[in-house]
Chains A and B, each alone.
Chain A
């Protein structure tokens, strides 16, 4: 059973900041890693799939990188609408999500 560990669990940042969230898999998952944005009471939104591919319609300030066990989601310039919780999810085997990273306003 592949475990996903995200860090940090929360962070405070200001509009315009560069934000980086990391996700580590307990074993290699190649590039089978997706990232989602979730705002309370709303449907989660796919941002990045297979580690580095930007989902259609997602702003280019979002990017993903990594392979094997270590992955990163980067927001190059944080916007007001980006304050949310972000989840990684492995699709290599039984789908499993990380614990989430809550991005809050500083």
Chain B
């Protein structure tokens, strides 16, 4: 059974870049779509964007100008960079898998809390 694990700094300063990595184990990263999703405190889940194993991407229009998602198939990892962060970017960040661009998220990581604060 595939497992996903997010990693990265838990504290980021305002205006800096948030960087997270999702490590995939128990299955190949190839053939699937890989998304980042976040949940600010007290709010609902928000899809950030996805990367296909071949490098194709799509993003939430509300975040598109600040987001980069990349993939390293040799390491079975994909990564998120969100630049120019503010306190509004404080959230639990999840990585998730889906089998098509029509997003049905069938496996998720447990999430990692990222706080934006000076």
Contacts and interface: CB of A to CB of B under 8 A. Distances in A.
Interface of A: 32, 34, 36, 41-46, 49-50, 55, 87, 89, 91-92, 94-100
A5 B49 CA distance: 22
Nearest to A4: B44
A51 to B, nearest CB: 11
A42 B102 CA distance: 24
A48 to B, nearest CB: 10
A49 B107 CA distance: 13
Interface residues of B, number: 20
Given A94-B47, A98-B44, A43 B94 contact: yes
Residue with the highest number of chain A CB atoms closer than 10 Å, among B60, B107, B108: B108
- B contacts with A: majority SS: loop
A36 B105 contact: yes
Interface in B42-79: 44-47, 60-61
B30 interface: no
Interface in B74-91: none
Q: Which of B4, B61, B94, B104 has the most CB of A within 10 A?
A: B104
A95 B103 contact: yes
* 7 smallest beta-carbon distances between A and B, as pairs: A43-B108, A95-B47, A97-B45, A95-B103, A49-B104, A91-B103, A91-B102
